[in-house]
Amino acid sequence: MASHTFVELKTPISGTYQQPTGLFINNEFVEGVDKQTFEVTNPTTEEVICSVSEATEKDVDIAVAAARAAFNGPWRQTTPQQRSILLIKLADLCEKNTDLLASVESLDNGKSITLARGDVGAVVGCLRYYGGWADKIEGKTIDIAPDMFHYTRQEPIGVCGQIIPWNFPLLMLAWKIGPALATGNTVVMKTAEQTPLSGLVFARLVKEAGFPPGVLNIITGFGKVAGAAISAHMGIDKVAFTGSTLVGRQIMKSAASSNLKKVTLELGGKSPNIVFNDADIEAAVSWVNFGIYYNHGQCCCAGSRIYVQEGVYDQFVAAFKKRAEQNKVGDPFHPETFQGPQVSQLQYDRIMSYIETGKQEGATVETGGGRHGEKGYFIQPTIFSNVTNDMKIMQEEIFGPVCAISKFSTEEDVIALGNDSTYGLAAAIHTKDLNTAIRVSNALHAGTVWVNCYNMLNHQLPFGGYKESGIGRELGEAALANYTQTKSVAIRLGGPLF
């Protein structure tokens, strides 16, 4: 264990632990070729936690070469059942190390320890799920003619580049590697520069689980350098990205102009959360609160556009305001904290600028609208009412604890309002009428629709967007298609035809 690729850190939950700071390539932590590093900031204290290696194009080349060697070598010889065993063992190690992984997540991301533990639980479930799929990737025989034998094979794509965001560092890592490794691919993963620490701790478990060197490589660095190198790399066969629509467009262009690598994208959202007159108001308030303030509003599917039918509008706004003001904002390591800080100064400033825009556009601040406390990137849970659909805060993704409420009269009106967005990631409906629930669910242009709940994601259920919210699906059986390609084989059993 080289001391220059580890540092001793401490959290209130884990106590002292060894934090890897190098690039995880070929099952070892190494310094970057140029020996560059960058600082990681604690969003709760605004202080530097440590520095980690900054990958450049040269390091991406090394990681891709390691992934290619593993794909052509030991990983190709690994049976599907053995891939299953390795993924399930990795899940078991994550479960065993829940407190360590969760506390590191809270340290550089700022999310509450309670939610971080929930994330680790979801990581464990996701890895076990895809461990179960690994030996069930099957082709089929196709009966075309008696003198021919036709069959298909589902084969891995090859070396996959994966770029994940900072809002769910461990969970997005699991969503990406689960189907990729289950189907026999190898991976070069770039974590977000704001939140690299938990992925590096996770990397130690990859080696402990027994994955061959080069199968999963995890590098830290900046999107404009390491991320750009991955999306343009001629040795990478497929790229998967979760993040902003703006960057997603750049990745598509880069993939097209290089080797036309396959692309899946899980991008932004501005999801409508619709409350009908007949909804259970108390339950709806609870779910709407969870839908926007979960993970500090830093959620691509956050229910940030709230449409309330006119018959219950005033009642709902009053109840929602009261509920939002009860959210515990503060130290992520306190067990009662629901909302920690935003991830960075950049995000804090961006969210505060949207709040100012909302005020200038004439929306009413029901609660919040300012900084919480004196230190750290904390923002008060904020509710805007009297918002019109043309306002910036109703159209653009804010990615923070800020929501906009608007009144509607008829079902037809709210369907039009809900679909009046360039995004289509998620939506929700609150009603006691099953016919309304199904009718409106079918009419909304969104990849996921929740009824009388919100953010109820599961590794068994596909997740992804319509319109500018992405291409392809994460999770469920559907995600396997992102990482396999179909080969058709035709065998002639008879004699010559010509």
Do 181 and 218 contact (CB within 8 A), yes or no?
A: no
Do 393 and 404 contact (CB within 8 A), yes or no?
A: yes
Active site residue 266: yes
- Contacts of 284-287 with C-beta under 8 Å, sequence gap 24+, read 284/316, 284/430, 284/452, 285/316, 285/319, 285/320, 285/323, 286/323, 287/428, 287/430, 287/450, 287/452, 287/453, 287/454
Tell me which amino acid residue 104 is. Answer: V
Do 276 and 404 contact (CB within 8 A), yes or no?
A: no
CA atoms within 13 A on the CB side of 208: 14
Do 183 and 478 contact (CB within 8 A), yes or no?
A: no
CB-based contacts of 3, cutoff 8 Å, min separation 6: none
CA 439 to each of CA 313, 424, 431, 442: distance values in angstroms, whole numbers, following the listed order: 22, 17, 12, 5
Structure tokens at 315: 């009642």
Whole-angstrom Cα distance, residue 382 to residue 348?
A: 13
Do 259 and 467 contact (CB within 8 A), yes or no?
A: no
Whole-angstrom Cα distance, residue 201 to residue 191?
A: 12
Structure tokens at 60: 């991406």
Which of 54, 266, 366, 474 is the catalytic position?
266
Whole-angstrom Cα distance, residue 317 to residue 383?
A: 9
- The residues annotated as belonging to the active site are 266
